[in-house]
Every structure is written in C-alpha cells, then in structure tokens.
Amino acid sequence: MRWKLTGRFLMAILCTVFCVILVNAIIALVFYAYYSSGEEHPASATDFTRTLARYITEVDGEPVISDKGIAALEERNAWLQFLDDNGNVIGNALAPATAPVHYTPVELVHAYKYRDENQVSTFVAEHNDIMYLVGIQDRNLSKIVITSNTSSITQFTAQLALIMIIVDLLIAIIIGFIFSSFLTKPIYRMIERIRMLKNRNFAVDSKHSRGLYRSIFHNLDDVAESLKLQEEERRKLEQMRNEWVSNVSHDMKTPLAAIQGYAELLQSNISTSEQTEYAEIIEKKSVYMRELLDDFTLTMRLRQQEMPLQLVDTNIVSFVRELVIDVLNDATFGERNITFNASIDKLTKCIDTHLMKRALLNFIYNALVHNEEEVILKVSVEEVGGTAVIHIRDNGKGITKADLPQVFERYYRGTNTENIKGTGLGMAIARDVIQAHGGEVELMSELGIGTSVIIQL
C-alpha cells in the first residue's frame, strides 16, 4: 500500500512535468509564429541598411538619396557612401571628412567585420547595381559572425532537447520521490493505525503529526479511546453474562432435577397425599424457572430499549401508598415495621404502572428480605421543583463499599444475599425501568447503619 501511494504521487509529478513541457513548447511555437509574421518590429542595423534602398535613386547616371533617407540617417546617427565597381567613392550623405574615398576588397571585408577606432560599424549593400556603404556610430552595436551547418544545428537541437527532457524527468522523479516520501509517510501511518483498530489494538499513538494530518491523528486517537472503553465494557458485560449463564444453569439444574425426581416418583405406587405434595413441588419449581426466564427476557428488552411503555397519568402519592398497603397485606411481611409519609396529597406523573410497580416492589422487597425482621422501613414521597422524589430507606445491615458500585449490575449478587432465592436481576430491572421513564436512581448505604434508595421522576 505504501509503495502504491508513492507510485501514484510520482505519476502525478511526472504528468505535471509533461504538461509544463508541453505548455512551454506551445508558447515557443506561438512566439515563433508571431515573430515570423509580417508585422513590423524594431529594425536591426542590417535591416536598416537594406531599407535605405527605398530612398536611393539614380539621377543623370549618378546615385542620390532622398531627403527622407537623409532624415533616416540622421535619426540613426549614420552616414552613407556610394561606391563604383573599383571601390571608389562616387557620392555620399553625411559622411565625415575622415571617411576613406577608396576601398580595396580587403578593406571592405575588414570594415564589414570590425568597428573602427571611432566606434563606427560598417554595413555594405547593393540596390539596382548601385553599391553603397553605411556607417553607424553606436558603441552598443556589435557584430557576431557565425558559420554553421544546418543539418548539424538540427541534430544538435534534437540532442539538446532529448537531454533536457531526460534531465527534467530525472529531476522530477527525484523531487517527486522526496516529496512523496514526505507526504505519504503520515498516510501510511494512518493506514497502520486503522489496521491496528481493525485488529482491536487500541493503543494511542504518541507521535502526533503536526502537519496537514494533525486533526486526523487526533480523531484516530479519540476513536481508539472510545473503542477501548467500549471493548472494556463489552468484556465486562461478557464476563458478567457468562457468570449469569453459569448461575442460571446452576439454578435451573436444581429445579429440573427436583421436577425429574418427583415426576419419577409420581409414576410409582404412592398415596394420593404424596401425589398431591409432589405435584405442588413440581409446580413451584416450574414457576421459579418461568420467573427466571421472564426476568431474563425483561432485562434484555429494557437494555435494548425494545420494551414499549404503556404510559398512564398516575397520582404518584396514592400509587406508592397502595404499594405499601399491598406489602403489609402480604402474610409474609404483615408484621414488619413499614411506614409511609407524603408531603403532598397529589402529584401526577405519566408512568407505566405495571413496570413501575415491579421496580418499586423490588426495592421494598430487597430491604425486607436482605435484613432482619426487626428492620424499620420508611417510604416517603415529596415534590422538589416539579420532580417526584420517592425515598425508600431502612436501618438494616447496609451494603459494603465493594458491593455498592455493582448492586445495579445484572447477574450480580452481593455478599449479604447468601441463601436468598431470586434470579439476581431484580435491582438491574428496577434501575432500567426507572431510566426508561427518564428518571434517575441513587443508592446510598453504610454498613451497619442502613440503605437509602432515592428515585427521581
């Protein structure tokens, strides 16, 4: 993957270089076409010498230059001499007195190639068999005589262009490789981080990028932290679920063994009274197993928010009062010390009465079942800022600090619940029911002093 990204980046660099070369070639062609067109451009010294021919005529067999030609000579700081076939000067315009009156062929060649001591450059031209010589005084004007072979120039140009292209491509490859290594390195690190997350490795990268990808690496660290917490929670729930399955399997084996044993006894020759007794035992064990499975189903549906609430406007004060009365009417708890108190007569809230009743009874029954018979249980209802606050407190054994944070966890049994029947899901179900109503539950306890459950709706 790393080399694949590097290769793509190099390809992009090469394409960029190719486009630059192509654009440069187009620009060169445009300039060449422009300068090859018939448009007028500032004349060179040679062109100036040739253009003077338009001003030269022959009058009575003698060459003369027009006034416009003389004006052009003055503007260019130049002078002109007419020569015959023998190199003699037969006429001039603006020529200095020191100018030669005769030129040998060698002198003409020397004058054409070099400037004289007065910084005069000489140019020779011919028009209609009239030879003339133009001297231009300009220290910035210089001559370069080049002789070349056209075929060698073409070959040289082609070789030069090929060398330039190769060199440009090599430079582009080197620069592209350097930049691609620099830019793709953090991308490779990102791919590695994602692969680590895929393999459930949630370690945070200590080498943070400070460049373009800084925010991406910070987000990856946040994702790693979140996944790490979720993984820990998943493992914790998985462990607790396994423990619960183990407990349920153990609890199911006992009633199943009893049911099987008593069912076998019913098949033997026994009295009618024994048959009735064994049938009652089988029924009780079956009810316990059904309650266990019902509690498991309910807690799963509540946790996954798949339990639709049948909400009804209910007076919380009378609702809780009736629960306390129902508990007192139960023969098991009829002699217990339970009190109810309310600071108001009516407080209406929208609740699912069936689930809320089960949740509150779980709290009340826990206070009664897990404490001595002399325990005092106080239930109260009050309104605080529009919120219904239900307070259930006892002066029983209390809960240890080690058990307190886990009381509401599913499948958990505290150290003070030995030999107590139940599915181990009551407190978790009660908490989930309260939260499903948008409420909160707070549990406070001190060992040897008692426990308080505060429910806010």
Same-domain status, 348 and 268: no
Structure tokens at 272: 């009618």
- The CATH number that applies at residue 226 is 1.10.287.130
The rounded Cα 178 to chain-centroid distance in angstroms is 25
Distance in angstroms (rounded) separating the CA atoms of residues 114 and 126: 20
Asked if residue 336 is part of any domain, the answer here is yes
Same-domain status, 78 and 178: no
Same-domain status, 328 and 259: no
Same-domain status, 281 and 342: no
Distance in angstroms (rounded) separating the CA atoms of residues 89 and 84: 7
Distance in angstroms (rounded) separating the CA atoms of residues 101 and 172: 64
Same-domain status, 95 and 166: no
Q: Of all helices (H) and strands (E), which one includes residue 300?
A: helix 272-303
- 105, 137, 169 — which closes off a domain? 137
Asked if residue 48 is part of any domain, the answer here is no
How many folded domains does the chain comprise? Answer: 4
pLDDT of residue 419: 46
Mean pLDDT, range 333-361, rounded to an integer? 90
Asked if residue 404 is part of any domain, the answer here is yes
Same-domain status, 219 and 282: yes
pLDDT at 214 over 90: no
Asked if residue 143 is part of any domain, the answer here is no
Same-domain status, 276 and 381: no
pLDDT of residue 298: 74
Q: Of all helices (H) and strands (E), which one includes residue 312?
A: strand 312-315
Same-domain status, 232 and 259: yes
Distance in angstroms (rounded) separating the CA atoms of residues 432 and 359: 9
Q: Which of 152-161, 394-403, 405-414 has the lowest mean pLDDT?
A: 405-414
Task: Specify the 3-state DSSP secondary structure of 122.
Answer: strand
Asked if residue 207 is part of any domain, the answer here is no
Domain that holds residue 365: 312-456
- How far from each other are the two terminal CA atoms of the chain, in whole angstroms? 56
Same-domain status, 386 and 425: yes
Over the stretch 32-42, which tens digit does the pLDDT of each residue have?
676 566 555 55
The alpha carbon dihedral of 313, 317, 320, 325 has a sign of: negative
- 246, 274, 303 — which closes off a domain? 303
Same-domain status, 28 and 120: no
Mean pLDDT, range 428-451, rounded to an integer? 88
| Per-residue pLDDT band at 377 (split at 50, 70, 90) | very high
Same-domain status, 88 and 166: no
pLDDT of residue 273: 86
| Per-residue pLDDT band at 165 (split at 50, 70, 90) | confident
Same-domain status, 163 and 116: no
Q: Kindly state the percentage of the chain with pLDDT values over 70.
A: 83
Asked if residue 236 is part of any domain, the answer here is yes
Asked if residue 148 is part of any domain, the answer here is no
Residue 247 · residue 424 · CB < 8 Å: yes
- Between 307 and 60, the more confident residue is 60
- The CATH number that applies at residue 370 is 3.30.565.10
pLDDT of residue 421: 53
- Between 440 and 38, the more confident residue is 440
